[in-house]
């Protein structure tokens, strides 16, 4: 289990525990956290689960793969360093304390 903090664009924080093996997107979906739409259900076929990873965590999450890089081109205001698709981040104990912030909107 990892405790993950999801921060809405307006600053509202949601701290939830997410089971190992799930994705950060599934943690948001399963806990009713607004701001992560996940239209494709986690298939890395859209960018509606886009977040900005907190700067302190950028080097601690697994690196992006090519398909995620391609999909981030469709995200709203992607950041070349901090943007991630939450469907591509698997939860492990090493991510305990992860902080992600949602963009103003998902497209």
Q: Tell me: the pLDDT tens digits for 37-89? A: 999 999 999 999 999 999 999 999 999 999 999 999 999 999 999 999 999 99
For residue 94, what pLDDT is reported? Answer: 97
Measured CA angle at 80 (ends 35, 64), to 5 deg = 80
Q: Is the pTM of this model over 0.95?
A: yes
Mean pLDDT of 11-27: 98
For the segment 14-35, the average pLDDT, to the nearest whole number, is 98
pLDDT at residue 101 in the model: 98
| Residues near 18 by beta carbon (within 8 Å), at least 6 away in sequence | 1, 2, 3, 4, 24, 26, 27, 30, 31, 91
Ordered structural domains, the chain, with CATH: 2-101 (3.10.20.30)
DSSP 59-96: TTSPPPPHHHHHHHTTSSS--TTTEEEGGG-B--GGGT
Residues above pLDDT 70, as percent of the chain: 100
């Amino acid at each position: 289990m990892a405790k993950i903090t999801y921060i809405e664009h307006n600053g509202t924080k949601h701290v939830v525990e997410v089971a190992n093996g799930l994705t950060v997107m599934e943690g948001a979906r399963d806990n009713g956290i607004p701001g992560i739409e996940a239209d494709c259900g986690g298939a890395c076929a859209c960018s509606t689960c886009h977040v900005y990873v907190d700067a302190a965590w950028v080097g601690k999450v697994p690196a992006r793969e090519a398909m995620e890089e391609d999909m981030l081109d469709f995200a709203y205001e992607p950041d070349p360093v901090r943007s991630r698709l939450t469907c591509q981040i698997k939860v492990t104990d090493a991510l305990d304390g992860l902080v992600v912030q949602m963009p103003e909107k998902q497209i």
